[in-house]
Amino acid sequence: MTASTEQSSAYDVGRVRDLAEEGAHARGPLLEILHSVQQELGYVDDTAIAPIADVLNLSRAEVLGVVSFYRDFRRQPPAQATIRLCRGEACQSVGAEGLVAHACERLGVGVGESSEDGRVSLDQVFCLGNCALGPSGVIDGRLVGRLDEATLDEFLAPYL
């Protein structure tokens, strides 16, 4: 059983339905409901799709399509720590893509995913306003510049 599946069993699908019913009459209700669900329950679990589709009279594929399209929506419980690496143009020109690949390989996750144990997630961002000191990232809420594989490894070490 994966961490995500274990979490699903505690996921309050009844509350999802309540939030969907409360938001059903808003303008553009789907996005509003999804934001409410994520805000209250931390993420949009797979089990949330059906009740939302049901209340809005949409297909599950339509709801899932929106959840998948917008990167703002998390599909897994938020990790304890998040590593966000900048893939903006300036950072790309100084090796950001190699760093992203390195982080994926070391953590065994893809961009936008959390580790199996839920301790860390890897995310991307497209400029942190720290271009002159790229490649940049935000690690545990702290802006870090001039990242290279060695310094990134130091930050990743507690999660390996």
Site of interaction with ligand FES (CB under 6 A): 86, 88-91, 127-128, 130-131, 134, 136
Paired with 142 in beta bridges are: 139
Report the C-alpha gap between 110 and 41 in whole angstroms: 23
CB of 84 to ligand FES, least distance (A): 11
13 vs 90, which CB is nearer to ligand FES?
Answer: 90
Residue 148: which of 96, 88, 101, 93 has the closest Cα?
96
Q: Which residue is nearest to ligand FES (CB)?
A: 88
CB of 110 to ligand FES, least distance (A): 20
72 vs 89, which CB is nearer to ligand FES?
Answer: 89
24 vs 131, which CB is nearer to ligand FES?
Answer: 131
CB of 78 to ligand FES, least distance (A): 23
Report the C-alpha gap between 32 and 12 in whole angstroms: 18
89 vs 97, which CB is nearer to ligand FES?
Answer: 89
Within 8 A by CB and 6+ apart from 110, the residues are 104, 122
Q: Rounded to the nearest 5°, which phi and psi values hold at 103?
A: -65, -40
